[in-house]
Structure 1
Amino acid sequence: MNLRVRVMNYGDRHWYADIDDADDPQPDDPFWYVDHCRSQAQALETACIELRLMSGRLVRGDHLDRVLEITGVPV
């Protein structure tokens, strides 16, 4: 699995980050996301911490669930 972090700006002081499969053609169902970060650096740092945790789960052989699978609510 090839995971990637994506960070986007939604106006002043509103940053969003998600983690998804780099080969996924539909970016609307990530494995993880965070919203309302105050800065790009905060969004990136938070996502990188989560990416490190996810990588550890994959090494152990755990299955990663997508946000939609868990919540039923699209991001």
Structure 2
Amino acid sequence: MNLKVRVVHCGNRRWYADIDDADDPQPDDPFWYVDNCRTQTQALQTACAELRLMSGRLVRGDHLDRVLDITGVPV
């Protein structure tokens, strides 16, 4: 699996980050996301920390669930 981190500026004081499959054309169904980060750096650091955890889970052979699968609500 090829995962990617995406960081987006949402308004004056808000940053969003998510982790998704690089081959997935739908950006509304990530494996993980964080919203309301105060800075781009905070969003990127938070996402990279989560990416390290997710990578470890994949190495162990764990299945990653998408946010939509868990919550039923697209991001």
TM-score for both structures, normalised by structure 2: 0.98
State percent identity of aligned pairs. 84
Shift of 1:64: 0.1
Shift of 1:28: 0.7
TM-score for both structures, normalised by structure 1: 0.98
SS in structure 2 of the partner of residue 8 of structure 1: strand
Give the aligned partner of residue 64 of structure 2: 64
Give the aligned partner of residue 31 of structure 1: 31
Matched pairs, number: 75
Unaligned 5+ residue runs, structure 2? none
> For 1:68 and 1:11, how far apart are their aligned partners in 2?
24
Give the aligned partner of residue 16 of structure 1: 16
SS in structure 2 of the partner of residue 46 of structure 1: helix
Unaligned 5+ residue runs, structure 1? none
Q: CA RMSD in A?
A: 0.4
> For 1:41 and 1:72, how far apart are their aligned partners in 2?
29
